[in-house]
C-alpha cells in the first residue's frame, strides 16, 4: 500500500517518556520544596513547555496531532503525577473540564488535553482547525484548503485527521460520533459522484469509515477508469534512530536530536488510489492494476474467494448451501474469514471470528444445531482440547458454532470423507483454488480427522486408512500435537505395522530430545503397551542419563505415562523404580 508510516519505536518512546517524566518532576519540585501546582489550563501548558528543551519541542511539534495518544502512558503519566491531577489539584481539573466544555474530567483525559494544548502552542505559527466542529457540508472543502496551504508549508500536514494518511477500515467505532460520521459518509458519497476535485478525499474517507463493504466496492468500481487524473496524497514517517544516540540516551548523556517526523507527497492517479482502497478493505496488497484485475477474476471464478469477500452470509444463503455440505465446509474453514485455526496450539478451530458473528449465527440456525446441547468441543477426546468457555458468552457462542461445524461434517458420507482426505484433494486445491489469503488445506483435513475419527477408524479398508493417516503424519501435520494424534490413529489402526515404521526413529544413539519420539512412545504405551513393553523398558535405560534439552524429557515422559495410564503400565513403572539402575 502506498500510504503508510512507520510507528515510533516503542523502546525509544518509553525512554523518551521517562526523560520527560524526570524533567517534569525536577521542574515542579526543585530543592525539595512543596509542589507549586498551576491552577489553570493555560498556566499548566506554559509550565510544561518551560520544562522542555528545544529537542523535546521540535519532536513534539513535528508529530501529527492525531498521534499524540502515543504519549499517554509515559509523558502523560508524568503530567498526571507532577501536576496533581489525581486529586491534589482540583482547580486544574476544573479548568481542564471547562476548556473541554464539560462539568468534570478524568485525569487521563485532562493530561491528554494538556498534551494537545502544548502541541497547539508549539504549532502556533500555523492555523489549527478543529475538523470535528466543521459543518458536515464544508468538511471536505476545508480539508482540501488545508492541503493546498500545505503545498507551501508542510507544517499544515500535522493538523489533518488520521483517515488522510491510513487507508484502512476501522474495527472499533467506540470513539466514533456515529451521527456525524454517517452524515459525513453520505456527503463523501455525493462528492465521489459529483465533485471531481474532491473525489480523492471522498474515496479516502469511505475506505476508512464506510462499513458497507458491498456498496463501497460498487463505488470504487465506478472510479477505476480514472487513470489520467492525478492527485497528491500526503504521507509521513518517523525518522530512524541512530543506535549510538539510543545508547547515550539510556545513560542520560545525550538526547536524540534527529528524532522528528518527516512529511512528503505521493503523486498518484485516482485509479491507483482506488486499487489501494480495494486492497485495504479486502486485506490485500495489490502491486498494480493488473494484479488487482487478476483478483477480480478470482472473485468470479473461485467460489472461495467470492464467499470470502462477501460482507455477510444470510440465512437464506446458508439454507441454499446446506444441500452442498462439502462446499459449505470449505467456505467456512478455508476462507480464513468465519472460523480460524489455532496454529500455535493444536491447529484446530476453537473459535469463530467475532466480526463474522452475524454470519455464524445464521449458519447455526440453518445447520439445525440451534437447540442441541453441547458441553465440549466435538473432537476426539484423546486430543484433550481445552478452553474456558463456561463464564464467557463469546466462548459459549464459539463453542456452539464449532459444534455446528462438526454437525455439518457429520453429514458427509464415507465416500465423500475419504475423497476429501485423499492427498489428491490437497494437490487439486493448491493448483485450482488456493490463493495467498486462503487457508492451507491441511487445517481443513485436520478438522475432519479430529471430528470424523469414528468413521475413519471403522472403515473396513485398513490399509487405505493407514496410508492416508501416515501421509498426514509424514507431510501435512498441523502441529506437534496433531502429529501425535496421527501417531495415535496409526497405532489404533495397525499397531504392528506402526511399530515397524517407527522403529527407525530409535535406531541411532540419541544425542538430543525429539518431539517425534515423544509422540511415538506415548502412542505405544497407550495403544500397544504389551507389544512394546520390552522395547519401552530397554529405551528407558538407554536414555535415563541423557541430558536432553527438549521437554518433556523422554525418561520423565515414559515414567509419567507408565504411572498414569492403567494398572498394567503402573506395574512396569514400579519395576523401574525398584531397579538398582534407577536414578532419581
* Higher pLDDT among residues 509 and 3, named by residue: 509
Cell numbers describing residue 296: 477480480
pLDDT band, residue 261 (cuts 50/70/90): confident
In percent, how much of the chain has pLDDT > 90?
58
Residues 6+ apart with CB under 8 A from 483: 473, 477, 515, 516, 519
- Can the peptide bond before residue 351 be classed as cis, meaning omega within 30 degrees of 0? no
Q: Is 546 a residue whose pLDDT tops 50?
A: yes
Average pLDDT, the chain: 85
The H-or-E segment that residue 525 falls in is helix 515-527
Residue closest to 408 by CA, chosen among 417, 396, 419: 417
Write phi, then psi, for 231 (nearest 5 degrees): -135, 160
Half-sphere exposure of 526 (CA within 13 A, CB side): 18
211-256: pLDDT as tens digits: 888 889 899 989 988 888 899 999 988 775 444 443 333 344 444 4
Q: Is 110 a residue whose pLDDT tops 60?
A: yes
| Per-residue confidence (pLDDT) for residue 199, from 0 to 100 | 95
* Higher pLDDT among residues 492 and 398, named by residue: 492
Number of helices (H), then strands (E), belonging to the chain: the values are 29, 4
Q: Is 428 a residue whose pLDDT tops 50?
A: yes
| C-alpha pair distances (Å), 304 with each of 203, 218, 307, 322 | 27, 20, 5, 16
| Per-residue confidence (pLDDT) for residue 303, from 0 to 100 | 93
| Per-residue confidence (pLDDT) for residue 358, from 0 to 100 | 92
Residue closest to 189 by CA, chosen among 158, 215, 224: 215
The answer to whether the pTM exceeds 0.75 is no
Cell numbers describing residue 254: 545525550
177-217: pLDDT as tens digits: 788 989 999 999 999 999 999 999 999 999 998 888 888 98
Query: What percent of the residues of the chain are helix, what percent strand, and what percent coil, each to the nearest 5?
Result: 65, 5, 35
| Per-residue confidence (pLDDT) for residue 53, from 0 to 100 | 83
Judge whether 146 and 132 are in contact, CB under 8 Å.
no
127-153: pLDDT as tens digits: 999 998 999 999 999 999 999 999 999
* 3-state DSSP assignment of residue 584: coil
Q: Grid coordinates 468457555 are at which residue?
A: 389
Amino acid at each position: 500500500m502506498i500510504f503508510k508510516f512507520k510507528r515510533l519505536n516503542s523502546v525509544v518512546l518509553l525512554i523518551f517518556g521517562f526523560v520527560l517524566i524526570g524533567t517534569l518532576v525536577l521542574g515542579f519540585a526543585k530543592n525539595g520544596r512543596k509542589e507549586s501546582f498551576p491552577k489553570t489550563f493555560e498556566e499548566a501548558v506554559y509550565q510544561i513547555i518551560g520544562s522542555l528543551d528545544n529537542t523535546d519541542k521540535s519532536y513534539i511539534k513535528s508529530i501529527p496531532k492525531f498521534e499524540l495518544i502515543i504519549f499517554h502512558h509515559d509523558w502523560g503519566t508524568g503530567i498526571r503525577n507532577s501536576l496533581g491531577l489525581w486529586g491534589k489539584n482540583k482547580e486544574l481539573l476544573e479548568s481542564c473540564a471547562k476548556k473541554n466544555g464539560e462539568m468534570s474530567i478524568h485525569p487521563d483525559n485532562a493530561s491528554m488535553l494538556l498534551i494537545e494544548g502544548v502541541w497547539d502552542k508549539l504549532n502556533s505559527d500555523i492555523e489549527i482547525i478543529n475538523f470535528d466542529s466543521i459543518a458536515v457540508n464544508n468538511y471536505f472543502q476545508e480539508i482540501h484548503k488545508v492541503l493546498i496551504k500545505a503545498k507551501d508549508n508542510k507544517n499544515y500536514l500535522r493538523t489533518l485527521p488520521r483517515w488522510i494518511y491510513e487507508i484502512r477500515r476501522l474495527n472499533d467505532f467506540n470513539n466514533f460520533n456515529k451521527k456525524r460520521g454517517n452524515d459525513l459518509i453520505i456527503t463523501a458519497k455525493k462528492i465521489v459522484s459529483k465533485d471531481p476535485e474532491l473525489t480523492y478525499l471522498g474515496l479516502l474517507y469511505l475506505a476508512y469509515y464506510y462499513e458497507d463493504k458491498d456498496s463501497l466496492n460498487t463505488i470504487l468500481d465506478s472510479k477505476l477508469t480514472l487513470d489520467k487524473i492525478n492527485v497528491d496524497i500526503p504521507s509521513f514517517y518517523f525518522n530512524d534512530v541512530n543506535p549510538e544516540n539510543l545508547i547515550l540516551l539510556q545513560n542520560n548523556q545525550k538526547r536524540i536530536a534527529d528524532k522528528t517526523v518527516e512529511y512528503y507527497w505521493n503523486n498518484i492517479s485516482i485509479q491507483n488510489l482506488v486499487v489501494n482502497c480495494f486492497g485495504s478493505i479486502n486485506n490485500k496488497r495489490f502491486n498494480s492494476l493488473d494484479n488487482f484485475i487478476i483478483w477480480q477474476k478470482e472473485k468470479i471464478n473461485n467460489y472461495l474467494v467470492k464467499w470470502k469477500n462477501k460482507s455477510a452470509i444470510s440465512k437464506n444463503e446458508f439454507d441454499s448451501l446446506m444441500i452442498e455440505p462439502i462446499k459449505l465446509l470449505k467456505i467456512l474453514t478455508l476462507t480464513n474469514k468465519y472460523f480460524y485455526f489455532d496454529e500455535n496450539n493444536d491447529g484446530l478451530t476453537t473459535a469463530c471470528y467475532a466480526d463474522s458473528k452475524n454470519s455464524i449465527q445464521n449458519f447455526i440456525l440453518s445447520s439445525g444445531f440451534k437447540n442441541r446441547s453441547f458441553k465440549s468441543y466435538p473432537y476426539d477426546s484423546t486430543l484433550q482440547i481445552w478452553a474456558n468457555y463456561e463464564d464467557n458468552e463469546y466462548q459459549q457462542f464459539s463453542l456452539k458454532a464449532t459444534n455446528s461445524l462438526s454437525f455439518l461434517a457429520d453429514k458427509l458420507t464415507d465416500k465423500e470423507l475419504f475423497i476429501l482426505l485423499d492427498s489428491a484433494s490437497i494437490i487439486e486445491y493448491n493448483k485450482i483454488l488456493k490463493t495467498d489469503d486462503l487457508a492451507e488445506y491441511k487445517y481443513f483435513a485436520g478438522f475432519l480427522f479430529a471430528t470424523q475419527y469414528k468413521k475413519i477408524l471403522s472403515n473396513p479398508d485398513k490399509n487405505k486408512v493407514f496410508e492416508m493417516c501416515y501421509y498426514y503424519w509424514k507431510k501435512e501435520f498441523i502441529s506437534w500435537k496433531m502429529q501425535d494424534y496421527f501417531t495415535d490413529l496409526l497405532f489404533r489402526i495397525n499397531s504392528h505395522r506402526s511399530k515397524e515404521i517407527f522403529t527407525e526413529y530409535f535406531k541411532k544413539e540419541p544425542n538430543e530430545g525429539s518431539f517425534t519420539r515423544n509422540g511415538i512412545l506415548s502412542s505405544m504405551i497407550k495403544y500397544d503397551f504389551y507389544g512394546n513393553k520390552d522395547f519401552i523398558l530397554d529405551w528407558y535405560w538407554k536414555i535415563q542419563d541423557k541430558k536432553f534439552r527438549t521437554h518433556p524429557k523422554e525418561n520423565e515422559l515414559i515414567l509419567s505415562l507408565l504411572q498414569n495410564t492403567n494398572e498394567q503400565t503402573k506395574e512396569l513403572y514400579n519395576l523401574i523404580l525398584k531397579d538398582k539402575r534407577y536414578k532419581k
